[in-house]
């Protein structure tokens, strides 16, 4: 299979545009710190903004005609990883401004996008089976990062259990509900175009990917889409079902900076956190969880409870820095154990997974869930089990 490609000129245009916007933003912060800028100081600030816009617009205009001429060039994994981080942090801004660096949602194999047409899929995936596994990455990550230290859950499950593994690639800076809606539509297209009859869909999701998957299932059912009838299993690896304190800490810094008159302008800096990142504060899944609210404002959890999909076997895996049970229960550095296992004091929010649907990887960090042998062994045996749940 061909390797992942990128259009180098389009990327350069996108980077130039982002640098221009960042320079203008920094100039605005400095101007606010100094107060009203008159005379020479004001002229300097206005000059910075004017020159920045002029240079950026000029470069963009010069490079634009070369985009279709250059075509696609091979993209290195490091470049793909950098783009994933950039999209995770400011992906909502990239998408809203039409920046070429914004990642469009696609299903990929080996980093190569799949064309969702029956003939194209048959050519790209010879021997495609009826058991389809879709892996959904987390925030600031991409589909290539499922391969870690020589292990890939998708490839291993394809080898051991006969799944055909596909990998979602998406802009993790968008709202979870926006990505969920797009994933729901994409899975519908996939089932309709699959070369053979789809007998089973399984989702394996890491971190934010679990929220996107839950949102997709809920929105698909609400819209009357048919693909959820084929969904049999969902696995959540370190998913912050009830939020992540790391995002709340960022929000707290924002509140503290905004409270003092002198540091108020610096509050813009934490506000570069994307919509996707702020959704991690409590684990937002729906438009109603964020629409009409200041997403940077500190406040209580006002999420609308969303239960796990009916009739689908679900497994939640948490990582804990603790060496084992019996002592203080530590999280994985990003997600608390209770959040990853879906446990909540509010019965309406508690995901109510049975003991067989929960697993803790002791002495592990958040990313270790991608390659720990004990995690894969448990995942494989659980995936080998019966198809549908009784809920």
Which pLDDT value is given to residue 255? Answer: 44
The answer to whether residues 63 and 175 belong to one domain is no
Residue 91, phi then psi, degrees to nearest 5? -65, -30
On the CB side of 326, CA atoms within 13 Å amount to: 2
214 and 357 share a domain?
yes
Say whether 284 sits in a helix, a strand or coil: coil
71 Rama sector, left if φ>0, alpha if ψ -120 to 50, beta otherwise: left
Domain edge (last residue) among 74, 97, 122: 74
Parallel, antiparallel, or unpaired for β 73-74 and 5-6?
antiparallel
For the stretch 309-318, pLDDT in tens is: 999 999 999 9
Domain final residue pick, 74, 96, 122: 74
Cα–Cα separations (whole angstroms), residue 332 to 240, 366, 377: 11, 5, 19
- Pair 38, 20 in one domain: yes
Q: With a cut of 80, say whether residue 11 has pLDDT above it.
A: no
For residues 99 and 14, the answer to whether their CB atoms sit within 8 Å is: yes
How far is 296 from 345, CA to CA, in rounded Å? Answer: 25
Q: For residues 307 and 374, state if they share a domain.
A: yes
Give residue 97's pLDDT band: very low, low, confident or very high (50, 70, 90).
confident
My answer on whether 148 and 25 are in the same domain is no
Residues 6 or more apart whose CB falls under 8 angstroms from that of 200 comprise 130, 131, 132, 230, 232, 233, 387
Stretch among 84-88, 222-226, 331-335 having the lowest mean pLDDT = 84-88
Residue 355: Cβ-neighbour burial (10 angstroms; 0-12, 13-18, 19+): exposed
Give the C-alpha separation, 197 to 321, whole Å: 43
Check residues 30 and 56 and name the one with the higher pLDDT: 56
Per-residue pLDDT tens for 34-44?
A: 455 444 444 44
State the Cα–Cα distance between residues 203 and 352, nearest whole angstrom. Answer: 19
What's the confidence (pLDDT) of residue 29?
A: 37
Answer for the pair 371, 151: CB distance below 8 angstroms, yes or no: yes
What average pLDDT score do residues 140-158 get?
95
Question: Same domain, yes or no, for 67 and 84?
Answer: no
**Do 248 and 301 meet the contact criterion of CB atoms below 8 Å apart?**
no
CA–CA dist 231, 203 (Å, integer)? 8
DSSP 363: T
Task: State how far the Cα of 275 lies from the Cα of 176, in Å rounded to an integer.
Answer: 8
Cβ–Cβ < 8 Å for 215, 234: no
Distance, in Å, from the CA atom of 254 to the CA atom of 270, rounded to the nearest integer, reads: 6
Asked whether the CA dihedral 340, 80, 25, 263 is positive or negative, the reply is positive
User: What does pTM read for this prediction?
Assistant: 0.80
On whether the CB atoms of residues 136 and 210 are closer than 8 A, the answer is yes
* pLDDT for the residue 265: 47
Is 60 exceeded by the pLDDT of residue 390? Answer: no
**3-state class (DSSP) for residue 22:** helix
Dist. CA 210–CA 235, nearest whole Å? 8
Q: Are residues 64 and 197 in the same domain?
A: no
Higher-confidence residue of 172 and 301: namely 172
Q: How confident is the model at residue 351 (pLDDT cuts 50, 70, 90)?
A: very high
Q: Are residues 176 and 224 in the same domain?
A: yes
Residue 129: band (very low, low, confident or very high) from pLDDT cuts 50, 70, 90: very high
Question: What's the mean per-residue pLDDT of the chain?
Answer: 82
pLDDT number for residue 53: 52
The whole-angstrom separation of Cα 251 and Cα 354 is: 33
Number of domains making up the chain = 2
Structural domain containing residue 61: 5-74
Same domain, 221 and 361: yes
Residue with tokens 């508690």: 350
Does residue 166 share a domain with residue 38? no
User: Any idea what the CATH number is for the domain that residue 355 is in?
Assistant: 3.40.50.1820
Last residue of a domain, one of 43, 74, 105: 74
Statement to judge: residues 271 and 379 lie in one domain? yes
At residue 48, the pLDDT reads 37
What is the reported pLDDT for 30?
A: 40
Q: Residue 62 pLDDT > 50, yes or no? A: no
Average the pLDDT over 95-115 and give the result.
91
Percent over 90 (pLDDT), the chain: 57
**Given this model, what pLDDT does residue 17 score?**
58
Could you tell me if 132 and 281 lie in one domain? yes
Segment 187-233, tens digit of pLDDT: 999 999 999 999 999 999 999 999 999 999 999 999 999 999 999 99
């Amino acid at each position: 299979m061909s390797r992942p490609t990128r259009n180098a000129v389009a990327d350069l245009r996108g980077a130039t545009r982002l640098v221009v916007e960042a320079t203008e933003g920094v100039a605005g912060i400095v101007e606010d710190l100094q107060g009203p800028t008159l005379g020479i100081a004001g002229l300097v600030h206005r000059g910075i903004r004017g020159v920045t816009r002029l240079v950026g617009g000029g470069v963009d205009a010069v490079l634009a005609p070369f985009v279709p001429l250059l075509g696609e060039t091979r993209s290195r994994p490091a470049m793909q990883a950098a783009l994933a981080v950039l999209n995770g942090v400011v992906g909502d801004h990239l998408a809203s401004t039409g920046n070429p660096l914004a990642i469009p949602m696609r299903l990929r194999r080996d980093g190569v996008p799949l064309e969702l047409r029956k003939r194209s899929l048959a050519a790209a995936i010879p021997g495609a089976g009826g058991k389809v596994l879709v892996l959904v990455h987390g925030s600031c990550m991409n589909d290539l990062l499922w391969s870690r230290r020589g292990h890939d859950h998708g490839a291993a499950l394809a080898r051991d259990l006969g799944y055909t593994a596909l990998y979602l690639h998406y802009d993790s800076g968008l709202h979870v509900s926006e990505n969920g809606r797009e994933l729901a539509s994409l899975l519908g297209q996939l089932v309709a175009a699959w070369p053979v009859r789809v007998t089973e869909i399984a989702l394996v999701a890491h971190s934010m990917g679990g929220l996107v998957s839950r949102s997709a299932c809920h929105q698909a059912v609400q819209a009357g889409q048919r693909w959820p009838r084929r969904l049999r299993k969902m696995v959540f690896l370190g998913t912050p079902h009830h939020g992540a304190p790391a995002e709340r800490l960022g929000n707290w810094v924002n509140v503290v900076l905004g409270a003092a008159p002198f540091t108020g302008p610096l509050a813009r800096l934490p506000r570069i956190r994307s919509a996707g990142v702020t959704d991690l504060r409590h684990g937002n899944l729906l438009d109603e969880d964020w629409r009409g609210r200041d997403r940077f404002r500190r406040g209580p959890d006002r999420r609308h409870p969303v239960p796990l999909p009916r009739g689908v076997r679900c497994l939640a895996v948490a990582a804990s820095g603790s060496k084992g049970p019996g002592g203080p229960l530590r999280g994985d550095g990003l997600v608390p154990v209770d959040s990853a296992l879906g446990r909540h004091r509010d019965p309406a929010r508690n995901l109510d997974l049975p003991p067989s649907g929960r697993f803790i990887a002791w002495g592990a960090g958040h990313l270790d869930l991608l390659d720990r042998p004990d995690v894969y062994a448990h995942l494989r045996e659980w995936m080998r089990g019966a198809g549908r749940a009784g809920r």
